[in-house]
Amino acid sequence: MPPRQFKKIYTRTTGAQDVELYVVRPTFLLPNTPMTEMIYLGKDGKWEAWYVEDEYLKMMHSYADKVCADGWNLDAHLVAFEKDRDYLKATTHDLAQVSSSFSPEKAIEVYQKYSDAWLPYIEYIWIPWAITFVLDEWFQSELVKRYGEERGKEIYEILARCTKPIQMDRCIEELLQWKIDEEPTEQLRIIQQTYGHLGGYSVNDRYWNEDELKELVREFTDPKARLHEKQEARKLSAENADRIFQQLYRDDVWFYEVARTIHEYVFLRTERIDIYKWAAVNAGPFFRAFEEYFSLPPFIGGHLTRDEVLKALTTGEVPSAQEMEARLKKEYAIHFLHGSARIITEEVERAALLKERFKTSVDISGVSFLQGKVACTGKVQGKARVILHLKDVPKMQSGEILISNMTHPDYMPAIRKAAAIVTDEGGIVCHAAIISRELHIPCIVGTDQATQVFKTGDTVEVDATQGTVRRI
């Protein structure tokens, strides 16, 4: 097969590959899907998702066209989201219940329902990416065309701010209230049960414990002031957005509906992943029971494909001990082709696949300047801190420039110290963009190669008015 132009779409800081169940299979099963091939790479405790670029952009354009169609109705979309979310949660609950008295006979039907519950949910996974890759730039230019450069940019800045509390916001605010209330034990336990899943991404991940939750608000010496500040800032953002929407509705109902959808997904982009996390982490007990029943290595569940799980439940057949041991090293590739999955654990075979499928990589030697998308304006200089793993977060020093593939809630201790944020991935609705606007930190996203071009210790200038990052 000839090489194809693949693009890295996202990176996840998790050691498991169970994304096949949640993203890949539903994508291949979409009606008229353009997707034929994907490659997921396990690397240094992360998973990189590589998609054929022209196929992926075609899929993104189809979602963008749906949002921009005359018949699009955001309110109906949100009703559908709540229905699909509730069904996913119900099937997750049923799956977890099987773990208490596990048997293959009981497990098969419940597992199939759980995996099929992800099929309608895929729309909410991909619409934010359609906004990033297709609609964001068009939306900005359309605002400038309709309202002039200054007013258009002002409207964009207002609508790019999240006006609803994402789950991490709610978690932090409840923890701040817990500190204000003199730290009652039962209150912390409820917070842990409600938001502990935010630290995970897969069936192999766990809930945050109470000590980890306490660490999220340890630095706030005046919790009452911080809580008031967060709530007032969100209230002001909501009031500003409401005024904008009143104007947009008067001017053009169709454009108002598109703008409202883009704004809503500033919130939903994170909310839909937080629900994803909940459904994945809470499926963990099923997989631990599955592993125990079949005498499998602990946490191999997150490294099995859907077909392998179903095969074990129906025939008792599981991958070889040697194969499972190799997967647990978390350094393998999964080649998805026309809906089928091939896991490649052998290093030589993996290298051969990448050489065959990927075109020659771009030479970045000598590159010291990158262009990205402005998420929050500002201009600063400072030392770079490249963070690729959660274990690197404590190394962040105040005033450094945080450079990462993309940010996650676990990165908040580093983000609060950052003079600016630069990411390889993301757009208007990504985590880094949302948080930077809340904290007023200059931020540039979508540079593609910042983590490769810049090294920790480099002196860099982040110009988040022009969207540029350069070594100085």
Establish if 100 belongs to a structural domain: yes
352: Cβ contacts below 8 Å, ≥ 6 apart:
none
65: Cβ contacts below 8 Å, ≥ 6 apart:
none
Contact yes or no for 464/378 (Cβ under 8 A)? yes
Contact yes or no for 311/321 (Cβ under 8 A)? no
pLDDT for position 20: 85
| Element housing 39 (H / E) | strand 37-43
- Single residue among 232, 263, 294 that ends a domain in this structure: 263
Establish if 363 belongs to a structural domain: no
One domain for residues 141 and 127: no
One domain for residues 342 and 375: no
Using left for φ > 0, alpha for ψ between -120 and 50, and beta otherwise, residue 92 falls in: alpha
239: Cβ contacts below 8 Å, ≥ 6 apart:
none
pLDDT for position 72: 96
User: Per the structure block, which two tokens stand in for 292?
Assistant: 């125990």
Residue 409: CATH number of its domain: 3.50.30.10
Which phi and psi (to 5°) does residue 139 adopt? -65, -45
Quick one: 304 exposed, middle or buried, by C-beta within 10 A (0-12, 13-18, 19+)? buried
In whole angstroms, give the CA distance from residue 303 to residue 343. Answer: 9
In whole angstroms, give the CA distance from residue 188 to residue 159. Answer: 34
**CA distances (Å), origin 426, targets 8, 18, 216, 239:** 11, 22, 24, 26
One domain for residues 107 and 160: no
Per-position b or e across 197-231, b if 16+ CB within 10 A of its CB: bbbbbbbbbebbeeeebbebbeebeebeebbeebe
151: Cβ contacts below 8 Å, ≥ 6 apart:
none
One domain for residues 258 and 303: no
Establish if 389 belongs to a structural domain: yes
One domain for residues 375 and 449: yes
pLDDT for position 7: 86
DSSP structure string for 73-126: -HHHHHHHHHHHHHHHHHHHHHHHHHGGG--HHHHHHHHHHHHHTHHHHHHHHH
Could you tell me the residue range of the domain that residue 234 belongs to?
136-263
Measuring CA to CA, which residue among 370, 369, 396, 394 is closest to residue 383?
A: 396
**pLDDT tens digits, the chain, 472 residues: what are they?**
566 788 888 888 776 778 788 999 999 999 999 999 999 988 777 788 999 999 999 999 999 999 999 999 999 999 999 999 999 999 999 999 999 999 999 999 999 999 999 999 999 999 999 999 999 999 999 999 999 999 999 999 999 999 999 999 999 999 999 999 999 999 999 999 999 999 888 999 999 999 999 988 988 899 999 999 999 999 999 999 999 999 999 999 999 999 999 999 999 999 999 999 999 999 999 999 999 999 999 999 999 999 999 999 999 999 999 999 999 987 889 999 998 999 999 989 988 888 888 865 556 667 889 999 999 999 999 999 999 887 889 999 999 999 998 888 778 889 999 999 999 988 877 889 888 988 889 999 999 889 989 999 999 999 999 999 999 9
pLDDT for position 362: 56
One domain for residues 102 and 58: yes
pLDDT for position 364: 64
pLDDT for position 3: 66
In whole angstroms, give the CA distance from residue 218 to residue 294. Answer: 43
Contact yes or no for 413/432 (Cβ under 8 A)? no
In whole angstroms, give the CA distance from residue 327 to residue 90. Answer: 30
**CA distances (Å), origin 186, targets 172, 220, 224, 464, 465:** 16, 21, 20, 44, 46
One domain for residues 182 and 218: yes
One domain for residues 343 and 415: no
Establish if 150 belongs to a structural domain: yes
Establish if 90 belongs to a structural domain: yes
* CA dihedral of 16, 22, 24, 25, whole degrees rounded to 10: 120
Establish if 1 belongs to a structural domain: no
Using left for φ > 0, alpha for ψ between -120 and 50, and beta otherwise, residue 378 falls in: left
| Element housing 52 (H / E) | strand 46-52
One domain for residues 348 and 424: no
A 10 A CB-CB count for 408 gives 22
- Single residue among 357, 384, 402 that ends a domain in this structure: 357
Counted domains in the chain: 3
One domain for residues 140 and 225: yes
Establish if 276 belongs to a structural domain: no
pLDDT for position 197: 96
Measuring CA to CA, which residue among 14, 21, 41, 35 is closest to residue 331?
A: 41
In whole angstroms, give the CA distance from residue 259 to residue 262. Answer: 5
One domain for residues 65 and 103: yes
Helices within 398-440 (DSSP H only): 412-415, 431-439
Terminal C-alpha separation, the chain: 43
For residue 118, the Cα-to-chain-centroid distance in whole angstroms is 16
- Strands 401-404 and 420-423 come out as parallel
Establish if 272 belongs to a structural domain: no
Using left for φ > 0, alpha for ψ between -120 and 50, and beta otherwise, residue 225 falls in: alpha
pLDDT in tens, 97-141: 999 999 999 999 999 999 999 999 999 999 999 999 999 999 999
- Single residue among 313, 330, 357 that ends a domain in this structure: 357
One domain for residues 428 and 319: no
